[in-house]
Amino acid sequence: MLARNANRNHYVIRLLVLSLLAILLFSLLVSCGAGEGARKGTPLPVKGATTSTQAGQVSATQPVPTSAPLSPTSTAQPSILHGPTNFLLTTPLAFSSASGATMDNNGAITPLDANTIKTQITAELKRLLFVVDSRDDVKVYSPGTSPVTAQVTQQADSSIALDYQQTVDSEAGSVTITFDGVLLKDRMTVTYDQQYSPSILINANASEVTVALTAAVRWVSADQIPAAPGNGRYQLISNGGVALAWSAGQNAAAYNIYRLISDRDQQFQLLATVKATTYTDNSAAAAQYVNSPKGITYAIFSVGPTGVENPGGMVIVVATQ
C-alpha cells in the first residue's frame, strides 16, 4: 500500500519489499523485556497513516504479520490453473499506466508522481502469493492481511480471469483494493486500484491510485515457501541497542527485518536481510525512540531458498513504558 503524509505529499520508497525501501533507525539502554509473538495485522494504508505498536499494521510496501495460516499446495503445475499450484507475479512489472492523487479535507487534489506509484505498487504486488487448491479455488495472500478468495472465470480465449476486492479497516483508516487480472499462457494482465480513507484520528489525506500492467507468472512449489518465524523476543543492551531473536521457520534461508517507529514513521521500513535468527538494531533512532510512549515495533518474515517470502510474519513490540 501507499503510505501518505498530510504534511508533505511525498513517499518514502522502501527497499524490498516490499521494496521496500529507505532504512530508518533506532534503539536504547540496558534492560530486558519480553517480545510479542505472531499476531494478526492489517495493511497500513497509503499516505500518512501511522501504526500503533499494539496493532501490528503494515503498508502495501511493507509487510507485517498475520495469524492466518498459510497453506501452500504441494505441487506446481505451470501454464494451467487446475489442481494444486502456487504462483507469484515476477518483476519487473510492465506498467502501461500509473496514476493517483491525494485529497485534503478542503477537497484540494494533488497528483502523485507516476514513478513513485510504480515503485510502491511493484513492492506490493511482487509479494502477493496465489495458492490454487485441489478444487481450483484461488486464495490470495498478502502481508499483514487474511487471505482472500478470488473469483475465477474461464474465458472463451482460454484465458482465466482472477478478480477480488479486499477492504481492510484499522486505526489508520480504511483501505479498499480492487484486483482484476487475466491469466493467459503464464502471463497476467492486471488492473489494480487502491483507495484510502483516513481515520479521524489520523492527520492524513485520502488518496486513490490506479495502475495497469502485465507480468510474467512464476510458479513455485511448496518447499520454496518457508514457514513463518516464531517465538519472537527482544533484549535492551548496554550500548542502547535492541537485540532481537526468534525461532527458525522451516525451509527459511533468510529473514527480512522491518521496523516501525510509530512516533516518526508512516509505515514499516526494511532494515536488513539476515541468515541468522538474531539481529541487533544499534541505530541512533532506536536509542531515541525506544522509550517513547508507543515504543518500536519490528516485523520479521521468512524468506525461502528461491527468494519467496512467506506473507505471514511475526511482530516484536518493544515498549518500556
Q: Which pLDDT score is estimated for 74?
A: 67
User: pLDDT grade, residue 98 (50/70/90)?
Assistant: very high
pLDDT, tens digit, 9 for 90 and up, residues 104-129: 988 999 999 999 999 989 988 988 99
Q: 31-71+224-318 maps to which CATH number? A: 2.60.40.10
Q: For 12, what's the count of Cα atoms within 13 Å in the CB-facing half-sphere?
A: 22
158-181 pLDDT, tens digit per residue, is 899 999 999 988 766 788 999 999
Domain boundaries, the chain: 31-71+224-318, 85-222
* Rounded Cα distance, 131 and 116, in Å: 29
Q: Decide if pLDDT at 4 tops 70.
A: no
Give per-residue pLDDT as tens, 222-277: 888 898 899 999 999 887 789 999 999 999 999 999 998 877 776 678 899 999 99
- Whether the pTM exceeds 0.85: the reply is no
Does 142 have pLDDT greater than 90? no
